[in-house]
Structure formats: structure tokens, C-alpha cells
Amino acid sequence: MKCQAKGCGKDATHRISNVLLCEEHANQQRHCSGGCAKLLQVANVNLAVHNSYKGGEFLLCEACDRLDKKTCTYCRTIVKVEGRTTTTNRPYGDTTQLCENCDQLDKKTCTNCNTIVKVEGRTTTTNRPYGDTTQLCENCDQLDKKTCTNCNTIVEVGGRTTTTNRPYGDTTQLCENCDQLDKKTCTNCGSIVSVEGETRVTYTPYNDGEIPLCGRCDTLVGQRCRACTAPSTVRTPDGRDQQLAGASRIHPVGDEATTVGWRCRVCTKNPLRNTDDVTTRQAYGNAETWMRGWVESCGKVYPGYGDRLTWSMDRDGEFTLDGDGQELGRCTTTTHGDLPKTYRIQVLTFMRPLSFQQTLIHELTHALTHEFGIGDKPMIEGFCNYVAYLYLEHVRTSDFVRAAEAARAIQRMTENPNQAYGVNFRHIRDQLRLDPTQALNWFESNG
């Protein structure tokens, strides 16, 4: 009798389940991998109905194939049947597992439930990546979740923390790594608005980003700084003014219950407070020295005012707030018949030195033009702003410490839509761009 293995033809020496086999093929026996050890195949001859797994590497008899079983999520090796381990494996979550070999491979798991979602770059479970290091399987992606505002890493799912993080405000948070980076938060609600200079939440960077307000809080702005127009308060739901961090309110002397003005947190830092303070006097002297030099560069002689010109710093209640904007200073000119005119200059108190000097130069220009008999020309406010602009340009290009502050002030002037203070200023600036030393002569003829 010959061996019944396909293509063999050798003499049969064994009978297994009524199949005649030679010595070689009789030793090629395949049993059920499910634990029942039923003989299913000898050589290439099937002895019982069965199913194969992993390309025929694992076989299950018909009975065992109906039992509850688990396979390796990646290679499909049978690893457990009816709760009995058939191949060493490691579970991941409740529904996936990897056999011993596949567990050595590069893999990714769902950040929430630990389900295997990718092995060696091949997707094994539908998932959605968040950032570079986290992902959620299809089921977990339906749950309520929070991500790092900067890198998008999953930090919380269903109220459970999955990655160490720090909350900022009610709607933003940073993972442990991103929390070490340079960041800015909304001055009002504390939400993250930028990380490492990259905008993460839409915001308005008032005063070069010194007072960032997220888009939501920016709609709630109430009172603004009298000196620079940046926000000082936001409105609460019941209509009250909630003071922003670092901002200050101005009140009449001896009446702290009454608020007559506000300053933002930038203008609150080291402001000039009183007329007779040393720092105020120094700021005045430096501005007047520049003014004198500019007048002489125009070929004119700076007036010797003596006691005819007085000045002071005054609180907000002394100044108006109307359709032309916030009054920061004023120059009151008084005539005395044939005698020389006198001038009283008032500048808003509690302003930073540069804002004080910008306003002072504007008001000194009013006095100067009246001395020269050209103070009542139609474009006088634009011309006074032009001279203040020249001073700011001088600071911007010669004083590194105050250059950014000067640039902010110049930007406000160039964006001012007011006809007298903005449009006329820009017209004069453009006319004198080539030769600012002709300013006084030009204004006398064209102002």
C-alpha cells in the first residue's frame, strides 16, 4: 500500500484515522490550537472539519471554533480560547491584545482606554490622532475630552485625566511639557492666548501684548485707560466694571469713593503723579530741551516765556471726554492787550513719562504758534500732533528702552480717524516728509 499524502507514492508504514502514510508524513500532525488537541490534519490530508488562522499557522476544530476566543490584534494568532491562554500575550484595554512577538513591535494605543490602534504604522483600530503622541479610538473619540491648547495632546477624557496638565481659565489647558514654554494668558479670564509667540486663541494684544484679551473678553471691555485707550475694566453680567489686573482708578483728592478715570496696567507702572516731583520736572526739562532744539533747527528762536508760561499736572476731572476723544492736555492762552500773551498748560496726571512728554510737546506747540501769530490756523491740532510725532520718532530711534512704547504711540496717531488730530496730522507729515525743518514756515503759509 502506498502513502496517501498528496504526491508522495512511498510505501505506507502507518495508519492514522484510516489514512495510510509513510514514516515521513506520519510525523506531520496538526492538532486543534483551542486546547482540545483533536487531530485535524496529517501532512496535507484533512482529518476533520476545522478553520485556520494566521495563514494556516493555527487551526481550530469545528467545536473549538464556536467557543469564545481572542486573537492577536496585529497578526491574528489565537491567544485565548474560553478564557484559557493558548499563546503568551498581553492585553491592551478590554478588546485588544498582542501576542508575545507582536508586543515587541512599535505600537500605539488609545490614550483613554488603551486599545491597540496601530502596530508598525498599520492601523488596527479606527482612531483619530491628537498631537504627536496621543490618539483616541473611535468609541473614545465620542466622549467629552480636553486637549492641550498648544500641542493638541489629549489631556482629559470623560472627566478623567489622561496626561498631566494645568488648566488656564475655564477653556484652555497646557500639558506638562508645553507648560514649560513661554506663554501669554488673557488678562481677564486667564485663558492661554499664545505659546512661544504663536497665537493659540484669537486675542487682541493691547500695548504690544502687555494687555492681551481673548476674543470673548474683548467684547466685554468697559472703561479704557485715559492715557492710552487700552482696556482697564470689563463689564460683568450685572453691568458693573470689573477692574483688570494691574489697572488703576483715578479719584478726586480726598474722595476715594468717586472714580473720575482709569489707567491700564501699563500706564500704571511708574507714572508721573505730581507737578513738583523730581521725575516730572526732569521729563518736562528733557521735552522742552528737545523742543528748543527743534525750533532752532527750523531757523527760528525759541521764545523766552519766563513767568508767562506755567504748567501743571491735573486729575481727570479737569479734562473733557467728548466726540474728539480723550483730552490729555490743554493750553489756555490769555491776551493782555498790548502786553505779551500768557499760557497755562495742563497735562493729565498719572501718565507714563513718554505719554506726558508727547502731550506736553503738543501743548507747547500751541503756545509756540501763538507766540509766532499762527496759532489759530485751521490745521493747528494736526500741526501740534505733527511736532509731537517728531519727538516720538526721536525717541524711537535714539532711546532703546522706550523705542517700543514710542512706536505704539506713533501707531495710534497714524490710525487716528479724527479729522483734526488724525487726518490733518498725516497730511502735514506727508507734506514735510522730505524736510521737517521747514515745518514752521510751511505751516505759516499752508496751515
Q: What is the spatial distance between Cα 87 and Cα 99, in angstroms, rounded to a whole number?
A: 7
Cell matching residue 93? 484595554
Q: Are residues 282 and 401 in the same domain?
A: yes
Last residue of a domain, one of 208, 239, 263: 263
Q: Are residues 235 and 383 in the same domain?
A: no
Q: Are residues 19 and 125 in the same domain?
A: no
Biggest alpha carbon distance in the chain?
147
pTM for this predicted structure: 0.70
Q: For residue 374, which amino acid is it?
A: I
The yes-or-no verdict on residue 252 having pLDDT over 90 is no
Query: Residue 167: beta bridge partners?
Result: 173
Tens digit of each residue's pLDDT (9 = 90 or more) over 335-379: 999 999 999 999 999 999 999 999 999 999 999 999 999 999 999
Domain presence at residue 221: yes
Q: Are residues 157 and 173 in the same domain?
A: yes
Q: How many domains does the chain have?
A: 4
Tens digit of each residue's pLDDT (9 = 90 or more) over 171-182: 999 999 999 999
Q: What is the mean pLDDT of residues 148-155?
A: 97
Tens digit of each residue's pLDDT (9 = 90 or more) over 212-251: 999 999 999 999 998 888 999 999 999 999 999 999 988 8
Last residue of a domain, one of 180, 203, 218: 180
Q: What is the spatial distance between Cα 336 and Cα 156, in angstroms, rounded to a whole number?
A: 77
Q: Are residues 154 and 52 in the same domain?
A: no
Specify whether the backbone of 123 is left (phi greater than 0), alpha (psi in -120 to 50) or beta: beta
CA dihedral 275, 277, 283, 285 (to 10 degrees): 80
Q: Are residues 442 and 300 in the same domain?
A: yes
Tens digit of each residue's pLDDT (9 = 90 or more) over 373-417: 999 999 999 999 999 999 999 999 999 999 999 998 999 899 999
The yes-or-no verdict on residue 321 having pLDDT over 70 is no
What per-residue confidence (pLDDT) applies to 255? 81
Q: Long-range contacts of range 254-260, CB-CB < 8 Å, 24 or more positions apart?
A: 260/315, 260/316, 260/317
Residue 152, helix vs strand vs coil: coil
Q: Are residues 287 and 378 in the same domain?
A: yes
Domain presence at residue 315: yes
Residue 368, helix vs strand vs coil: helix
Last residue of a domain, one of 153, 180, 207: 180
What per-residue confidence (pLDDT) applies to 367? 97
The yes-or-no verdict on residue 324 having pLDDT over 70 is no
Q: Are residues 139 and 285 in the same domain?
A: no
Q: Are residues 300 and 372 in the same domain?
A: yes
If you write DSSP's letter for every residue of 205-225 in order, what string do you get?
Answer: EHHHHTEEEEHHHHTTB--B-
Q: Measure the CA angle with vertex 264, ends 263 and 268; round to 5°.
A: 70
Contact present, 345 and 309 (Cβ < 8 Å): yes
Domain presence at residue 4: no
What per-residue confidence (pLDDT) applies to 306? 94
Q: What is the spatial distance between Cα 307 and Cα 375, in angstroms, rounded to a whole number?
A: 20
Across the chain, mean pLDDT equals 91
Q: Are residues 352 and 204 in the same domain?
A: no
The yes-or-no verdict on residue 323 having pLDDT over 70 is no
pLDDT-based confidence at 258, cuts 50/70/90? confident
Structural domain containing residue 146 = 107-180
Domain presence at residue 188: no
The yes-or-no verdict on residue 307 having pLDDT over 70 is yes
Q: Are residues 249 and 311 in the same domain?
A: no
Q: Is the dihedral of CA 241, 246, 250, 256 positive or negative?
A: positive
> Nearest-CA neighbor of 54 among 91, 96, 87?
87
Domain presence at residue 32: yes
What per-residue confidence (pLDDT) applies to 253? 76
Tens digit of each residue's pLDDT (9 = 90 or more) over 5-20: 888 889 888 888 888 8
Cell matching residue 222? 468697559
What per-residue confidence (pLDDT) applies to 325? 59
Mean pLDDT lowest among 83-92, 184-193, 424-433: 83-92
> Nearest-CA neighbor of 436 among 387, 374, 381?
387
H-helix or E-strand containing 126? none
Residue 81, helix vs strand vs coil: strand
Domain presence at residue 7: no
Cell matching residue 168? 488656564
The yes-or-no verdict on residue 63 having pLDDT over 70 is yes
pLDDT-based confidence at 319, cuts 50/70/90? confident
Q: Are residues 96 and 116 in the same domain?
A: no
Domain presence at residue 54: yes
What per-residue confidence (pLDDT) applies to 269? 87
Q: Is the dihedral of CA 263, 269, 273, 275 positive or negative?
A: negative
What per-residue confidence (pLDDT) applies to 250? 86
Domain presence at residue 385: yes
Q: How does DSSP classify residue 279?
A: H
Q: What is the mean pLDDT of residues 298-308?
A: 95
What per-residue confidence (pLDDT) applies to 382? 96
